[in-house]
């Protein structure tokens, strides 16, 4: 009986450690996203609300619905593209999460010339 009880206690302890570790990881990820938002940046898989917090309201939202035939039932893929004009940025959402974004910024050099810097992440 004592051997069974010690195994149960050991299993309970292991489960508690796993749950606590998971809670720490979730808290760490939340703080990371909050830090990125405070810096005015976005990440893949962010929600629409998180992008609004980081970049504000978009100047334009374009939503596209594509019918994908399939068996046993066809599905509809909904893509939403948010466009910001100053500076020029776009964010693409699928199922309410960022799947792609790009930003083009004007960079002035010391000699007064203006360059464009574009980054795209997929």
Residue carrying structure tokens 């992008």? 51
Return phi, psi of residue 90, to 5°.
-135, 150
Per-residue pLDDT of the chain (122 residues; tens, 9 = 90+): 567 666 665 655 454 444 444 443 444 455 688 888 999 999 999 999 999 999 999 999 999 999 999 888 889 999 999 999 988 899 999 999 999 999 876 666 666 655 555 554 44
**Local structure of 82: helix, strand or coil:** strand
């Amino acid at each position: 009986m004592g051997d069974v009880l010690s195994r149960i206690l050991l299993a309970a302890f292991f489960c508690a450690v796993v749950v606590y570790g998971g809670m720490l990881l979730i808290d760490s990820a939340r703080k990371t996203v909050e830090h990125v938002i405070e810096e005015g940046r976005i990440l893949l898989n962010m929600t629409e609300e998180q992008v609004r917090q980081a970049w504000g309201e978009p100047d334009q939202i374009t939503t596209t619905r594509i019918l994908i035939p399939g068996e046993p039932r066809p599905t509809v893929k909904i893509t939403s593209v948010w466009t910001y004009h100053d500076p020029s940025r776009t964010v693409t959402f699928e199922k309410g999460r960022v799947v792609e974004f790009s930003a083009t910024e004007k960079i002035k050099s010391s000699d007064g010339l203006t360059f464009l810097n574009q980054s795209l992440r997929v």
